[in-house]
Amino acid sequence: MDKKLKVNKEILFYAFRYALGRMSYAPSTIMDNIKANINDLSTGDIQAYIREVAECENYGMEMDKTSWLGFKAYLENELKIRQ
């Protein structure tokens, strides 16, 4: 990942919503970028990501579902750390 780029947190969330349910490399790329920027996201932002994953009705393929649920667990753990 190129650390020289600055991405607005709203753009990151839009990309996340686009990637959720896609059967491509987009989900992995977006999850990696959110993780790389986790310290710049608010608790509310993280809760929004968790809610979107939890409410998703189509994750893509089974392996995509596994990835998204693992990402959700990562975010939930981040919230626990912040407490």
Cβ distance 58 to 23 under 8 Å? no
In this predicted structure, what is the pLDDT of residue 1?
53
Q: Any idea where the domains of the chain sit in the sequence?
A: 9-82
Please compute, for residue 44, the number of CA atoms within 13 A of its CA located in the half-sphere on the CB side: 2
Q: What residue ranges of the chain have pLDDT lower than 70?
A: 1-4
Distances in Å between the alpha carbon of 27 and those of 16, 46, 55, 81?
Answer: 7, 16, 16, 24
What is residue 3's predicted lDDT score, i.e. its pLDDT? 64
Looking at residue 7, what is its pLDDT?
83
Model pTM greater than 0.75? yes
Q: What is the DSSP annotation of 14-42?
A: HHHHHHTT-SSSHHHHHHHHHHHTGGGS-
Per-residue pLDDT at 41: 96
